[in-house]
Amino acid sequence: MAKTKPVQAEKNEMVKDEATPVPEGLEEKIRSIGDAFRRRRTAFLVVFLATFVGVQAFAFFLPGKFAARAALLIQHTRLVPQLNTNPQDPPTIISGGVSEEDVNSEIAILTSFDVLDATVRSTGLGTVPPPWYLRLLFAPLRLYERAYAAYHDVPYRTDLDRAPEGLARSITAKRLKDSDVVVVEYQAGDPSVAEIVLRELIKQYLARHMAIRQSIEEESFFDTQATVLGAELDGLEDELQELQLGIGAVDVEAEKAIQLKIDGGLREESAMLSRRIAELGATIAEYDRIVEDASVSGGVLAAAPQRDSILDDLKAQALNLELEKIDLETRYTEDFPLLEENERKLTATRRTLEEERLNVRDHSPTLAQVEMERANAAAAREGLLERKEVLERQVDESRERLMELESTAVEIGRKRRLIRTVEERYTSYISRGEQARVDAELDQQNVTNVSVVQQPAASAKPVYPRKTIVLLTSVCGGFLVALLVCLWLELRMLGLARVLTAIAPPGEAS
């Protein structure tokens, strides 16, 4: 009986194997896994619950992130052409939809450093210290930055300097699909703080947008330029008036024509005086020649015959003495007594001859008349010379006056051209400033092409960590951790070699 039972059991197993084929050893492996699970089910449940509770507690105590959202509508209700100094501008036109470039431009303005820095300073984000764990985590990095700044002598970036970058990382701006609405989101650890910061950010953005886009700035530009040109125009007019006062004339061209006539008359008179002076000079020279000839030779101009004989005797005596002197000089030296006596006689004879000639001239009525005429001619010539000297000074002054008038006329022409140019620019800026004011009045009800369609509002529900993700993480993590713990316990109990032998197929184990 004992032998028949095993045989019967083997037959039953063979029949069973033929009915449902099962891989060799798989049933034992499944059984061993089931036995291990039954042995470790308590540990599995404990580890699973502990992991689940731990993840939930970590998510509960972890500081969450709350989001505040606002919606901006970008539109083009009226497009004004760019203002410039050209009065021929295209008229105002109606614009179509907003392009992707317009949206990107507005997002760029929203996240610009000026807007972020103004928001940080208004809300005081730069003065709020980060959490203790972040300070502890970034302490080595801050120490390195401080040492680097001190070594290279560059400014150290404080928390206030880094605040705009942190604010930029916490802001997201996206355009809704098939719309002109941009949704702006800001995340913070406190919903009220997120709402306050986002509200201030929108405020600073709108102020910056208006400063860039609005035509009020153009109006002030034209007003400023008109003021500058008006002051320049006044200065040029004052300079022109000073030039006219400096030359003592209102119409420079007329004054120059008058001065040219005066200068021509002075020069004509100077030429006439030069001719008259030359004539008198020739007359005086002729009188001198007549007197000289009469004094030397006597002749018809002598006073009396006896005067002429005396002159002849004196001339003959002087001639004899000169001949005797020549003869003595050839025979004797200069200090010889006869030669010295001859020199004294010759000197006395010449002096007597000169006195006699003067007596002849004094007693000649013809020579007296000639002398009188010569004196009159010389006096007239001296008067003409004085007059010419004065006239030359007048001519020089006239030439200087003409040169002054010419240079002043050139300068006045330049000033008048500048005045005309500045007047045209001034008039143009005044006109464009009026147009800018009109455009500003038209834009009073729509001061910007960006409208806030949803004011910043924060939700009490945190966006991070999400409850669904935390739940899935706690369940999956608990299951995985519990499974790993049970496997570790089994490995410790059975030993790694036995487990590998049990898991390996029978062929490989042998």
Query: Using one digit for the tens of pLDDT, what is the confidence trace for 187-203?
Result: 887 888 888 888 998 88
Query: Structure tokens of 479?
Result: 């299951």
Short-list 103, 68, 64, CA closest to 184: 68
> How high is the pLDDT of residue 284?
82
Domain-located, residue 430: no
Per-residue pLDDT averaged across 331-353, rounded? 76
pLDDT above 70 (res 271): yes
Which CATH number is 389's domain given? Answer: 1.10.287
pLDDT above 60 (res 300): no
Task: Say yes or no: 268 and 369 in one domain.
Answer: yes
Confidence at 309, pLDDT banded by 50, 70, 90: low
Confidence at 19, pLDDT banded by 50, 70, 90: very low
Element (H or E) spanning 112, and its range?
none
Cα–Cα dist 204/493, whole Å? 68
> How high is the pLDDT of residue 302?
43
pLDDT above 70 (res 4): no
Task: Say yes or no: 103 and 40 in one domain.
Answer: no
Confidence at 143, pLDDT banded by 50, 70, 90: confident
Higher pLDDT: 96 or 338? It is 338
pLDDT above 60 (res 67): yes
Q: What are phi and psi of 505, to 5 degrees?
A: -60, 155
Task: Say yes or no: 264 and 201 in one domain.
Answer: no
> How high is the pLDDT of residue 149?
83
Cα–Cα dist 263/116, whole Å? 77
Out of 36-40, 405-409, 501-505, least confident range: 501-505
Domain-located, residue 247: no
> How high is the pLDDT of residue 147?
86
3: DSSP letter: T
How many residues does this entry show for the chain? 510
CA 418 to mean position of chain CA atoms: 24
Highest mean pLDDT range out of 22-26, 363-367, 451-455? 451-455
Task: Say yes or no: 297 and 390 in one domain.
Answer: yes
Task: Say yes or no: 404 and 257 in one domain.
Answer: yes
> How high is the pLDDT of residue 218?
61
pLDDT above 70 (res 78): no
pLDDT above 60 (res 442): no
Cα–Cα dist 223/436, whole Å? 10
Domain-located, residue 392: yes
For residue 325, is it left (φ>0), alpha (ψ between -120 and 50) or beta?
Answer: alpha
Q: 363-399 pLDDT, tens per residue?
A: 556 666 777 787 888 888 888 888 888 888 888 888 8
Domain-located, residue 263: yes
Task: Say yes or no: 509 and 480 in one domain.
Answer: yes
Query: What's the Cα-to-Cα distance from 100 to each of 94, 184, 202, 214, 392, rounded to whole Å?
Result: 18, 16, 20, 20, 85
- % pLDDT > 70, the chain: 76
Task: Say yes or no: 379 and 508 in one domain.
Answer: no
Domain count for the chain: 3
> How high is the pLDDT of residue 331?
74
E strands, 377-497, in order: 450-458
Task: Say yes or no: 46 and 73 in one domain.
Answer: no
Confidence at 65, pLDDT banded by 50, 70, 90: confident
> How high is the pLDDT of residue 394?
85
**Three-state secondary structure call for residue 95:** coil
> How high is the pLDDT of residue 164?
86
Cα–Cα dist 29/10, whole Å? 21
Domain-located, residue 19: no
For residue 27, is it left (φ>0), alpha (ψ between -120 and 50) or beta?
Answer: alpha
> How high is the pLDDT of residue 219?
66
Confidence at 25, pLDDT banded by 50, 70, 90: low
- Say if residues 464 and 187 touch (Cβ distance below 8 Å): yes
Domain-located, residue 443: no
Task: Say yes or no: 51 and 100 in one domain.
Answer: no
> How high is the pLDDT of residue 364?
59
**pTM attached to this predicted model:** 0.44
Task: Say yes or no: 110 and 210 in one domain.
Answer: yes
Confidence at 500, pLDDT banded by 50, 70, 90: low
Domain-located, residue 124: yes
Average predicted confidence (pLDDT) for the chain: 75
Higher pLDDT: 471 or 248? It is 471
- Say if residues 360 and 311 touch (Cβ distance below 8 Å): yes
Cα–Cα dist 408/405, whole Å? 5
Q: 465-487 pLDDT, tens per residue?
A: 777 887 888 889 888 888 888 88
Out of 62-66, 265-269, 366-370, 414-418, least confident range: 366-370
DSSP 150-200: HHHT-PPP-HHHHHHHHHHHTEEEEEPTTSSEEEEEEEESSHHHHHHHHHH
Task: Say yes or no: 178 and 208 in one domain.
Answer: yes
pLDDT above 50 (res 3): no
**Three-state secondary structure call for residue 68:** strand
DSSP 295-342: HHH-GGG-S-HHHHHHHHHHHHHHHHHHHHHHHHHHHS-TT-HHHHHH
> How high is the pLDDT of residue 17?
46
pLDDT above 60 (res 444): no
Q: Which domain holds residue 88?
A: 66-214+449-458
Domain-located, residue 334: no
Task: Say yes or no: 394 and 284 in one domain.
Answer: yes
Cα–Cα dist 361/338, whole Å? 35
> How high is the pLDDT of residue 308?
56
Cα–Cα dist 206/213, whole Å? 10
> To 10 degrees, the CA torsion angle through 266, 272, 275, 278?
-60
Per-residue pLDDT averaged across 126-145, rounded? 78
Query: Who's near 158: CB < 8 A, 6+ residues apart?
Result: 126
Cα–Cα dist 193/226, whole Å? 47
Query: Structure tokens of 220?
Result: 């002030």
